[in-house]
């Protein structure tokens, strides 16, 4: 088990999969000679050349359209979005084509396509570069949607994504690229989709989150422990398919739940999780399901205002105290 950053876990996984399968290739803006905006593809252009690490013009619909066609012919493209916010430009290709082709051809065509990249707020990237898009895509049948929180989860889930025969949205919060953790060295290590993990066991309340918000919940759990509140933290990891069994089992044990997500609070995927808990665990709840989400405003550029818009440890503490 090596201790590496989240960024290196993604990069190393790409290398392992490029080496394993000649049909895998990377495509995106500035991923070759420039080595990627967040340097995830550093050195890969020199290692694999222009046929397997393809620099493209600034045209998200074109990139996803080319990748979708390539996937239908049996290749396994991995698209890097410079930011997942830019995938909005390719919604028609992603939702109307990649997500539906298998169904509309009666199962005759497969689309083994991965669309990955930084999603969520970074540091003063402003309103057009800070969207959390995962909830949008988790609304679409035919897609799989993944939001790992740790380096080991990034490796295991990215391998599953590249090897899957369906289109996968793989979102990497930019605030996670520098975190470190132990990662399995096995080149065939995978994590199945639709399986959440218990990041911390507890008995008094369940905090349910994904991506960077898992770490916010773990920090809040440490603070709450000082006051004798034993928190369980559930890392959803995969939004579509969603592991409701692990979530429900946690809530049935603790009888209280707060769902934490970086996306806008109104209509974000956390609202879907909260609704399902309310429907399936109503008789187990001792308090209404709480929600902590991002403020419903365009992301400001000014750092102090940006921080006010992103859920933090204090917001989680307040939500927990509200239901005690």
Q: Which of 97, 102, 129, 131 is catalytic?
A: 129
Catalytic, 102? Answer no
The number of distinct structural domains making up the chain is: 2
Do residue 90 and residue 235 come from a single domain? no
Q: For residue 61, is pLDDT > 90? A: yes
Do the strands 180-183 and 2-5 form a parallel or antiparallel pair, or are they unpaired?
antiparallel
Domain end, chosen from 153, 183, 213, is at 183
Confidence of residue 5 (pLDDT cuts 50, 70, 90): very high
CATH of the domain at 221: 3.40.50.920
**Is 188 within a domain?**
no
Do residue 174 and residue 202 come from a single domain? no
Q: For residue 122, is pLDDT > 90? A: no
Assess whether the previous peptide bond of 140 is cis (omega < 30° from 0): no
Q: What is the pLDDT of residue 123?
A: 86
Q: What is the pLDDT of residue 136?
A: 96
pLDDT digits (tens, 9 = 90+) for 142-151: 999 999 999 9
pLDDT digits (tens, 9 = 90+) for 277-320: 999 999 999 999 999 999 999 998 999 999 999 999 999 999 99
Q: What is the pLDDT of residue 127?
A: 86
Do residue 228 and residue 273 come from a single domain? yes
pLDDT digits (tens, 9 = 90+) for 136-177: 999 999 999 999 999 999 999 999 999 999 999 999 999 999
Nearest to 74 by CA among 20, 28, 115, 113: 113
The CA distance from 88 to 129, in Å, is: 11
| Chain mean pLDDT for the chain | 96
The CA distance from 105 to 180, in Å, is: 43
Domain end, chosen from 183, 210, 230, is at 183
The CA distance from 314 to 316, in Å, is: 5
DSSP 281: S
CATH of the domain at 54: 3.40.50.970
Domain end, chosen from 183, 206, 221, is at 183
Per DSSP, the three-state class of 309 is: helix
**Is 16 within a domain?**
yes
Confidence of residue 125 (pLDDT cuts 50, 70, 90): confident
DSSP 7-37: HHHHHHHHHHHHHH-TTEEEEETT-STT--T
**Is 287 within a domain?**
yes
Do residue 157 and residue 235 come from a single domain? no
Q: What is the pLDDT of residue 21?
A: 98
Q: What is the pLDDT of residue 126?
A: 85
Do residue 20 and residue 84 come from a single domain? yes
Do residue 260 and residue 229 come from a single domain? yes
Q: Which of 16, 17, 29, 60 is catalytic?
A: 60
Write the CB contacts of 46 (distance below 8 Å, at least 6 apart in sequence).
none
Q: What is the pLDDT of residue 116?
A: 98
Do residue 175 and residue 226 come from a single domain? no
Catalytic, 129? Answer yes
Q: For residue 124, is pLDDT > 90? A: no
Q: For residue 214, is pLDDT > 90? A: yes
Q: For residue 324, is pLDDT > 80? A: no
**Is 81 within a domain?**
yes
**Is 23 within a domain?**
yes
Do residue 239 and residue 160 come from a single domain? no
**Is 190 within a domain?**
no
Do residue 161 and residue 201 come from a single domain? no
Tokens 């969603």, located at residue: 242
Task: Tell me if 207 sits within 8 A of 110, measured CB to CB.
Answer: no
Write the CB contacts of 59 (distance below 8 Å, at least 6 apart in sequence).
none
Q: What is the pLDDT of residue 302?
A: 92
Do residue 237 and residue 307 come from a single domain? yes
**Is 189 within a domain?**
no
Confidence of residue 200 (pLDDT cuts 50, 70, 90): very high
Domain coverage including residue 205: 197-322
Outline where 234-268 has alpha helix (H): 244-254
pTM, two decimal places: 0.96
């Amino acid at each position: 088990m090596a201790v590496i950053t989240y960024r290196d876990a993604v990069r190393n996984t790409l290398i392992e999969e490029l080496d394993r399968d000649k049909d895998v290739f990377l495509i995106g803006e500035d991923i070759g000679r420039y080595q990627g905006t967040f340097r995830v593809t550093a050195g890969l252009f020199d290692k694999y050349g222009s046929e397997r690490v393809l620099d493209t013009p600034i045209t998200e619909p074109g990139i996803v359209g080319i990748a979708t066609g390539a996937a239908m012919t049996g290749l396994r493209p991995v698209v890097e979005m410079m930011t997942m916010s830019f995938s909005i430009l390719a919604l028609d290709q992603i939702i109307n084509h990649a997500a539906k082709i298998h169904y509309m051809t009666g199962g005759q065509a497969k689309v083994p396509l991965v669309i990955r990249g930084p999603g969520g707020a970074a540091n003063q990237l402003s309103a057009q570069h800070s969207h959390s898009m995962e909830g949008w895509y988790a609304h679409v049948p035919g897609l799989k949607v993944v939001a790992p929180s740790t380096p080991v989860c990034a490796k295991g889930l990215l391998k599953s994504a590249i090897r899957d025969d369906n289109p996968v949205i793989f979102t990497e919060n930019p605030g996670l690229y520098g975190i470190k953790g132990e990662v399995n060295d096995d080149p065939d290590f995978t994590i199945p989709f639709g399986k959440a993990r218990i990041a911390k066991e507890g008995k008094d309340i369940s905090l349910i989150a994904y991506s960077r918000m898992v770490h916010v919940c773990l920090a809040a759990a440490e603070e709450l422990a000082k006051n004798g509140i034993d928190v369980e933290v559930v890392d959803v990891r995969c939004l579509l398919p969603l592991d409701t069994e692990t979530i429900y089992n946690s809530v049935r044990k603790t009888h209280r739940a707060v769902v934490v997500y970086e996306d806008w609070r109104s209509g974000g995927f956390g609202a879907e999780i909260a609704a399902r808990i309310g429907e399936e665990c109503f008789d187990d709840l001792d308090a209404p399901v709480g929600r902590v989400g991002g403020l419903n405003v365009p992301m400001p550029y000014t750092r102090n205002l940006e921080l006010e818009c992103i859920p933090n440890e204090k917001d989680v503490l307040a939500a927990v105290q509200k239901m005690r």
